Structure 1
Amino acid sequence: MLRRLALTAVVSLAALSAVTPGAAAATGPLPLPLPRPLPLTLPVLQDDARTRLTITVSDTGDPAAEGSFELRCAPAGGSHPVAEQACGRLEELAGGSKDPFAPVPADALCTLQFGGPATARVTGTWQGRHIDSSFNRTNGCEISRWNNLIPVLPNVR
């Protein structure tokens, strides 16, 4: 989107500077020369501001959901099976007040339920910061934390 806007601005400036001298010649000389347009530089997104995550999932019981997947956002890509939906979920979570990658606090009261042996590890960059988080489904808090990141993490039940 930003590239398209910058490109439109550059093309518009080029068109205006090409048309103005011809128009001035038809009406007579201008008293002062036209200023040259300033060069427009595109902002460069730094790699650490982009979302680039490696998600490693195991013991889900579903071979298609297991393995190591790359996820890139803006634009969505990588080997993640549902990259667009995963990037959309991460974008939703970016506006929230809770960090979806934060571990469960040590003093949290969690239900004693077992959601299965699935585990996941997420490493990389999200919102310009380094991520290295582990996930499991060993109690109610961990299950909730995992489910909050679906479809970044697979939907295992």
Structure 2
Amino acid sequence: MLRLAAFAVTSALAAAAAGPLPPLPLGRLLASPDRLTIAVSDTGNRRVDGEYRLECRPVGGNHPEAGKACARLEEFAKEGKDPFAPEPKRQMCTFQDGGPATARITGTWHGQKVDRTFRRKDGCAITRWNDLEPVLPSARS
């Protein structure tokens, strides 16, 4: 018991002598890792259609471009943007068809639940898809 008390006092004195600890990024420490499931279909390329797991912080999963995909998502975070936010209701979009490609992304990103479907149904949706590459596969001809 005496050894334990001496250890506690010695540890406290050593910590005090070392000075205050640097501020810790508490949000990052408490945040769970990003884990997303990406189901892609009808791209016209059987090699990219399928279901992928993407993990960031640390990078992992079976996504074919996991490192680049996580880096792209981190760019959104640094810019303060949510790539999974709903599409704005009132926006002018070109009437163009980007093909039948569909992607559904579910999971967690920066502590927030994600459940969003992406299609290439008009100019705005095509832009959203392209902005998410390489999280989503390229569907450009």
Aligning the two structures, in what range does the TM-score lie when normalised by the shorter sequence? 0.7 to 0.9
Which residue pairs with 1:92 in the alignment? 75
**TM-score of the two chains, using structure 2 as the length reference:** 0.78
Is the contact between residue 82 and residue 151 of structure 1 (CA under 8 Å) also seen in structure 2? yes
Is the contact between residue 52 and residue 73 of structure 1 (CA under 8 Å) also seen in structure 2? yes
Is the contact between residue 33 and residue 58 of structure 2 (CA under 8 Å) also seen in structure 1? no
Is it true that 1:118 corresponds to 2:118 in the alignment? no
**TM-score of the two chains, using structure 1 as the length reference:** 0.70
Larger Rg: 1
In structure 1, give the amino acid aligned to 2:132: L
Equivalent runs, 1:58-137 vs 2, <5 Å? 58-137=41-120
In structure 1, give the amino acid aligned to 2:131: N
Secondary structure at 2:69 match in 1: helix
Aligned length in residues: 121
Q: CA deviation at 1:106?
A: 1.9
- What 5-or-longer segments of structure 1 have no aligned partner? 1-33
In structure 1, give the amino acid aligned to 2:81: K
Structure 1 consecutive aligned stretches of length 4 or more whose deviation exceeds 4 Å:
43-46
Identical positions, percent: 53
Which residue pairs with 2:10 in the alignment? 35
In 2, Cα distance between the equivalents of 1:128 and 1:103? 17
Which residue pairs with 1:7 in the alignment? none
Secondary structure at 1:131 match in 2: strand
Question: Is the strand fraction higher in 1 or 2?
Answer: 2
Is the contact between residue 89 and residue 151 of structure 1 (CA under 8 Å) also seen in structure 2? yes
